[in-house]
Structure 1
Amino acid sequence: MQRLALPAWAAPAAPSPADDSGLRLRLTAFRFSLNSRFSAQRLGGLLDDLLGLELGLSGLQAAADRITAFYRQQGYFLALAFVPAQDIADGVVEITVLEGRLGQVRLDNQSGIADAIVRGRLAPLQPGQPLAADTLERSLLLINSLAGAQVQSTLTPGASVGTSDLDIRVDALPRTAVSIGLDNYGNRFSGAWRAHAALSVNSPLDSGDALSLQTTRAGPLFQHARLAYQWPLGQHGLQVGAAGSAMAYRLGHGFAALQAHGRADIASVYALWPWLSARNLNVKLQVNVEHKRLADRTDSVNSASDKTVDALILGGSGDRVDGLGGSGASSWSLSLTNGRLRLDAPAAAGADTGQRTGGRFAKLSWLAARQQQLPVLGADWSLWAQFSGQASLPQPATGDAARNLDSSEKFSLGGAQGVRAYPQGEAPADDAWLATIELRRALGSAWQLSGFVDTAMGRPSHTAAAPDDANLRRLSGVGLGSSYVQPGGLSWGATVAWRTSGPPRSDHDRSPRLWSSLQQQF
């Protein structure tokens, strides 16, 4: 989540009202001056209940304060309404509204990104116009979203009454970032312990673009690499990108005699647009076109399976910070995948006669999460909850019934990101949900302890020949966790989990099951 504070600014105070002991008058109407964002009729409607009353000077200023509060509720955080010195006739009182207009916009760009790209994101900030918080926040966040840029801003009094000048400084983040890591999040048969390395390059073309390379290796059994490039397009926050990845595996341990191995190559292009960008609310929309080539071989029986998947993925994601229950943050994502699986080898087509995965498919995937502070327990306590899953859907274009999904499109119930009491990849399912709840306590700024409950349910096949009870998996577990995070440096995490449902089917039973990860950033 991106968080950005508004520039520090103290709005000018309204003139202090005089003593009420003298003047009192019966109001018949209000008139307004210097207002442009809202009509006199709209503003007057906020004060209709005061007409016919006798008010002193403090009462008149209270009426002006209502107008100030209304403007600020609408996002004009610099607005100020007051009762100017005037000759009052026939009970008509004038209220002047300083709408908080923008004066000069001064840019100090030290990021190395071209000035034209940065200034393009400031285009909605028009000098002479009332300054709205949402317009300011969006412009600053769009600058901050440029790879390699970090923005700071300050508001100062402008040259004329009721105006404010905006000073923006854009600093450069380090050109490169490197991280290495180690975890045991892999599958035992293709390498449980995995080493990671990642390289990110900020703005290699001085345009706010980003280049990233990630690699993962689990000895001789598993290798994965992903290369991605993303660049900004236009001045409204649109980002477009392309990515390619390659994965190769070989089964070992109890399956080594099968001489089973394979690879997956994925290419994608995508576009990402920030529909809403604000301090406390962000919503992004994304479209992704993806092509997969999947190949599996079992040399011991001379078997080959080749498949291709082409998919269009439409999605959205967002986050929101609020004051509910003290304070909390919510995040979510939702995506709709519409694709087609082609079986390129006779063996693959023959194996598919039972599962019926070939052809067009559709699925809906979701995730919702909430981090809630628990002040009743203390400032260091919080609750984390997450609900995720997917469902195979009927074809939106043809109306064909929902179908079974290929193994590459399934949702795994068990593992380090699932029910943690079960091995990685346990219980892949077409239709599934996963729920997690964690009670967390921070120990200082770096350490955290947690206790958690995981539970999940899924159908391995959307449509199965077996009875329903044989086509349903339920997993659950409880556990404890600990983590250490040093921003920009070392991070470590570990969990230990005990299953509270039946034993795993994909690997040996271990209870408790331990997961651990270590990462160092440079």
Structure 2
Amino acid sequence: MDQRPVSWWRAAKPRWALGALGLIPLAIASPLQAQITPSQSLQQRLQEDQLRLRLLELDDADADAAPLLQKAAESPVPWAGSIELRRLELESTLPNLTALKQALQVWIGRRIEAEQLEQIQQEIAAWFWQRDQAVAVQRLETEPEQGVLTLAILPLTLAAVTVDPASAHRFSNARAIGVVTAAVPLGTALRPGKLESALLKLNDLWGVQVRGRLHRAAEAESRVLLLEITDLKQQSVLLEVDNELNPYVGSLRTLATWTSSNNLGRGERFWLNPSWWGSAQGTGTAPLQLGIDWPVGLDGATISASANGGRYRLFNTGDVLYTGETAGVSLSLQQPLWRRDLRSLWLRVSTEGVHFSDERNQLNLDDKQAGVLRASLVSNSSDQLWGQGNTTVALGGSFGVLNLNGNGAFKRFDQLSSRLQGSYGALNLSLLRQQVFSPSWSASWLLLGQLAATNLSGYEQCGLGWPNGVRAYPPGENSSSSCLVSQLDLIYTWKPWLKLVGFADVGWGERWRQPFPGSLKPNQYTLAGAGLGLDLGRVSRWLLSLRAAFPIGGNPAQSSLIDLEASAPSARVWAALQLWL
């Protein structure tokens, strides 16, 4: 699917994160209950913020409605004849014309004049276009007495690719032409599907929009592709304020994201994301992220690199002071395997390195280092089922190694409990279905799952709370090694700038694949919730989002500081304000 913004549904790109999404304090009462440290959970939230920003940038209502690829206007040779059609002959070097001839039988027995002849030619051209072949259709001869019409079908070739000089832009003309000719070399058969794929890959780049128009060349059997390149916004700033935290992190979260796109003419992106989380007690967390997306080659591949770091101080922990820090780096490659407007497939591989450190009253509790490899296949497809729909599915896996050698006491404790030291792995599923029933009514369904092979450290676990879990619970609720979460949203668009939302969530979690003496009970649990909300404003300008969420059935988990609302959950109101500059 074309990744330009679509006004009536959220982004078509896949969601990668399945981890817990909030800071959860170390348990004070019993160290055996301490399963996800604040530094690990902070790292999870930083990764989630990166993905959320990518989704927001696709949900821009100001999309260009111009078609991706326009066909060349045909100029048929004038014909003033008339014939009662009894037989239609097709001459072509192209194979398998039986189905086409069968489709054209509806014209047999009809009076054919200039208008009808043009319709037949258009039908033939459209038939081949749908089968990824561009042709020219010419009238060879007519035999009015016998009622015979003979048409020649000529396969078209790509003669040249040029850039419209009327539009000034920073994007490299040579690179744009190179992407197209890598898909359809000059002098070869003009393949509409491959041209569409090349144009989509150009539009996947940052800060650039490309459209194509086919023109007749000097030779009747050739076409010239004219590229119309437009620069999009190169510099942008997104300011955000929300309360998407839990009591141990603070009551207010502020973020600023600066993005610089296509300054070097490659469709690259640089970004910087500082943030501050705190409350009336002062600063709680001050993380910083930065990264780059860099296109490589001419086949749509992108290398992304990012780094982050942050320090935290927990609130509401009495006389005990919890502090710590985390840092991480990542490198990934995303390659489209099949890129079409209605159906696409990507391969994504990445490697990450992270460090975690937590302190209690300035005494080091743990010092962890981890490295992980991830791989996933992501598919995206559009259909006309029940209106108009889009489905994104991501299947992936991860393999990593956790090193606890930085703190010998914690390593020995780990050997007696969760046994996190060493290698680990997990399989992941992400499914997002976005459905438009009418201009006013739409829906979305998100299904997230993770199956762990071993006990996972907090960084790799799933949180069953806000925002990717049950939204009636705070970020990081019931952190689990394995999980399955479903979110269903029903959306009514009252005005272009006002949407009303009803939602229902359910989540299942398995805390440990191998429980151990002293671990929290029960090991498996289910959470549920529902709520109402509204979105006021427009993405890319300003947007106010409100959600009121109510737990259903309570939380069966053992009460501790790790399970933030165990046994006595309460309703929650989430609020966020976003401003694009």
What corresponds to 2:312 in structure 1?
249
CA distance in 1, matches of 2:151, 2:323: 79
Query: How big is the shift at 1:94?
Result: 4.7
Query: How big is the shift at 1:425?
Result: 0.8
* SS of 1:351 mapped into structure 2: helix
Query: How big is the shift at 1:208?
Result: 2.5
Q: Is the 8 A contact 1:497 1:511 kept in 2?
A: no
Partner amino acid for 1:288? S
What corresponds to 1:491 in structure 2?
543
Query: How big is the shift at 1:332?
Result: 2.3
The verdict on how the C-alpha distance between 1:265 and 1:470 changes in structure 2, with shifts beyond 3 A counting, is: same
1:184 to 240, 243, 248: 243
Question: Pairwise CA RMSD of aligned residues?
Answer: 3.2
The verdict on how the C-alpha distance between 1:98 and 1:256 changes in structure 2, with shifts beyond 3 A counting, is: farther
2:400 to 339, 347, 355: 339
2:208 to 146, 149, 158: 149
Cα deviation per residue 1:101-150 (whole Å; 9 max; x = unaligned)? 43442213733233332222121344444432221212222222332222
CA distance in 1, matches of 2:341, 2:69: 12
CA distance in 2, matches of 1:257, 1:132: 70
1:453 to 487, 497, 504: 504
Within 5 A, what are the aligned runs for 1:11-26? 12=74, 21=84, 24=86
TM-score w.r.t. the length of structure 2 is 0.77
1:374 to 422, 429, 437: 437
- For these two proteins, the number of residue pairs brought into alignment is 497
2:448 to 380, 384, 388: 388
What corresponds to 2:553 in structure 1?
501
Larger displacement relative to structure 2 (211-220 or 427-436)? 211-220
The verdict on how the C-alpha distance between 1:31 and 1:465 changes in structure 2, with shifts beyond 3 A counting, is: same
CA distance in 2, matches of 1:68, 1:119: 26
CA distance in 1, matches of 2:417, 2:67: 57
1:193 to 252, 262, 268: 252
The verdict on how the C-alpha distance between 1:14 and 1:172 changes in structure 2, with shifts beyond 3 A counting, is: closer
* SS of 2:171 mapped into structure 1: coil
The verdict on how the C-alpha distance between 1:389 and 1:88 changes in structure 2, with shifts beyond 3 A counting, is: same
2:339 counterpart of 1:282: no
Partner amino acid for 2:131? Q
Query: How big is the shift at 1:247?
Result: 2.1
What corresponds to 1:43 in structure 2?
97
Larger displacement relative to structure 2 (417-426 or 123-132)? 123-132
Q: Is the 8 A contact 1:5 1:279 kept in 2?
A: no
2:393 counterpart of 1:316: no
What corresponds to 2:489 in structure 1?
438
Larger displacement relative to structure 2 (488-497 or 96-105)? 96-105
What corresponds to 1:417 in structure 2?
468
Q: Could you tell me which runs of 5 or more consecutive residues in structure 1 were left unpaired when the two chains were aligned.
A: 393-401
Query: How big is the shift at 1:232?
Result: 1.4
Partner amino acid for 1:75? D
CA distance in 2, matches of 1:165, 1:189: 62
2:477 to 426, 434, 438: 426
Q: Is the 8 A contact 2:83 2:147 kept in 1?
A: no
The verdict on how the C-alpha distance between 1:386 and 1:223 changes in structure 2, with shifts beyond 3 A counting, is: same
CA distance in 2, matches of 1:191, 1:487: 26
Q: Could you tell me which runs of 5 or more consecutive residues in structure 2 were left unpaired when the two chains were aligned.
A: 5-65
2:538 counterpart of 1:477: no
Cα deviation per residue 1:79-100 (whole Å; 9 max; x = unaligned)? 3546531569999975411434
Cα deviation per residue 1:49-86 (whole Å; 9 max; x = unaligned)? 999xx97776997997875454122123x535465315
Larger displacement relative to structure 2 (318-327 or 175-184)? 318-327
The verdict on how the C-alpha distance between 1:481 and 1:86 changes in structure 2, with shifts beyond 3 A counting, is: same
What corresponds to 1:395 in structure 2?
none
Cα deviation per residue 1:241-279 (whole Å; 9 max; x = unaligned)? 2211112211111x1422111111111111111222222
Query: How big is the shift at 1:469?
Result: 7.5
Partner amino acid for 2:549? A
Partner amino acid for 1:481? G
What corresponds to 2:579 in structure 1?
520
CA distance in 1, matches of 2:109, 2:185: 39
Partner amino acid for 2:298? Q
Partner amino acid for 1:205? L
Q: Is the 8 A contact 1:437 1:453 kept in 2?
A: yes
CA distance in 1, matches of 2:168, 2:318: 56
What corresponds to 1:235 in structure 2?
298
Within 5 A, what are the aligned runs for 1:48-67? none
The verdict on how the C-alpha distance between 1:153 and 1:195 changes in structure 2, with shifts beyond 3 A counting, is: same
What corresponds to 1:397 in structure 2?
none
2:166 counterpart of 1:102: no
Partner amino acid for 1:120? G
* SS of 2:233 mapped into structure 1: coil
Q: Is the 8 A contact 1:272 1:287 kept in 2?
A: yes
Cα deviation per residue 1:168-217 (whole Å; 9 max; x = unaligned)? 12122232111111111122102232000111111343332211111221
What corresponds to 2:170 in structure 1?
112
Query: How big is the shift at 1:309?
Result: 0.7
1:7 to 69, 88, 101: 69
Query: How big is the shift at 1:510?
Result: 5.4
The verdict on how the C-alpha distance between 1:50 and 1:279 changes in structure 2, with shifts beyond 3 A counting, is: closer
* SS of 2:248 mapped into structure 1: helix
CA distance in 2, matches of 1:468, 1:214: 36
Q: Is the 8 A contact 2:461 2:479 kept in 1?
A: yes
Q: Is the 8 A contact 1:83 1:95 kept in 2?
A: yes
The verdict on how the C-alpha distance between 1:315 and 1:299 changes in structure 2, with shifts beyond 3 A counting, is: same
The verdict on how the C-alpha distance between 1:386 and 1:55 changes in structure 2, with shifts beyond 3 A counting, is: same
The verdict on how the C-alpha distance between 1:10 and 1:324 changes in structure 2, with shifts beyond 3 A counting, is: farther
Q: Is the 8 A contact 1:201 1:210 kept in 2?
A: yes
TM-score w.r.t. the length of structure 1 is 0.86
Query: How big is the shift at 1:162?
Result: 4.8
What corresponds to 2:285 in structure 1?
222
What corresponds to 2:325 in structure 1?
263
User: Could you tell me the percent identity over the aligned residues?
Assistant: 24
What corresponds to 1:358 in structure 2?
421
2:128 to 71, 75, 81: 71
Q: Is the 8 A contact 2:399 2:423 kept in 1?
A: yes
* SS of 2:67 mapped into structure 1: coil
CA distance in 2, matches of 1:6, 1:206: 21
Larger displacement relative to structure 2 (100-109 or 486-495)? 100-109
Cα deviation per residue 1:16-64 (whole Å; 9 max; x = unaligned)? 896555x746x9xx6623x4xx33xx2247548999xx97776997997
The verdict on how the C-alpha distance between 1:277 and 1:485 changes in structure 2, with shifts beyond 3 A counting, is: farther
Q: Is the 8 A contact 1:110 1:169 kept in 2?
A: no
Q: Is the 8 A contact 1:204 1:211 kept in 2?
A: no
CA distance in 1, matches of 2:310, 2:180: 42
The verdict on how the C-alpha distance between 1:371 and 1:214 changes in structure 2, with shifts beyond 3 A counting, is: same
CA distance in 2, matches of 1:306, 1:409: 16
